[in-house]
Amino acid sequence: MKKRKAVFLDRDGTILVHEPYLSSPDQLSLLPNAAEGIRLFKKHGYLVIVVTNQSGIARGLFDEERLMLIHKKMMGMLENEGANIDGLYYCPHHTEGIIERYKIDCDCRKPKPGMFLDAARRHRIDLSQSIMIGDSEVDMLAGKNAGCKSVLVRNGCAGDAGIVPVMNMDYVVKDLLEAAKIFTCKGKA
Ligand SMILES: [Mg+2]
Ligand SMILES: [Zn+2]
């Protein structure tokens, strides 16, 4: 069976408006064109997988149960716009956490590629044909480490003012729709 291509998406600042340590489903709002971009990728055969670092769990700011509620709400909001997610992976760990069982040097926290490798096994993904889209340097490096192309969205941490300089990306876009257009229009990318 042929392997699939996938688009890996960061959550905060890429799909959702960035809220530091977002901890309540009430705080969620989708970024402009996020759902439309996801729809376009899916229409062209890409699996859509969310990969998100959630060290707020290790830091004791919220628990996994709360995170499930947030993700359920996000998936629902996207589904309402016809943008279904095929998989969602999160890393709850951090070496400086305060909750003992999450205080580890794991293999999944971006820029490590653990979440990508798990998803690739489970969904039979060809990582060399896949794309990572995010708003931070860590996302760009994670994409590279997983063997994907990296695309920077300039609407989150790395806003237009260039507050945080980012390198290691292959493309820079303003939102997910622009990214989807680059990779789904014939003759490009
Ligand atoms: Mg982000
Ligand atoms: Zn982890």
Task: Give the chain's radius of gyration (CA, Å).
Answer: 16
Active site annotation includes 12: yes
Per-residue CA distances from 10 to 3, 64, 170, 179 (Å):
22, 18, 16, 13
Q: pLDDT tens digits, residue range 50-86?
A: 999 999 999 999 999 999 999 999 999 999 999 999 9
Q: pLDDT tens digits, residue range 130-151?
A: 999 999 999 999 999 999 999 9
- Please give the distance, rounded to the nearest whole angstrom, from the Cα atom of residue 2 to the centre of ligand 1: 31
Could you state, in order of their start, the residue ranges of all structural domains in the chain? Answer: 6-184
Q: Which two tokens stand for residue 4?
A: 């699939």
pLDDT of residue 37: 98
pLDDT of residue 163: 60
| Long-range pairs for 68-73: beta carbons < 8 A, 24 or more residues apart | 69/25, 70/22, 70/23, 70/24, 70/25, 70/28, 72/25, 73/25, 73/28
- Please give the distance, rounded to the nearest whole angstrom, from the Cα atom of residue 4 to the centre of ligand 2: 25
Number of residues written out for the chain: 189
- Under CATH, which number does the domain 6-184 receive? 3.40.50.1000
The one catalytic residue among 10, 135, 139, 175: 10
- Please give the distance, rounded to the nearest whole angstrom, from the Cα atom of residue 152 to the centre of ligand 2: 22
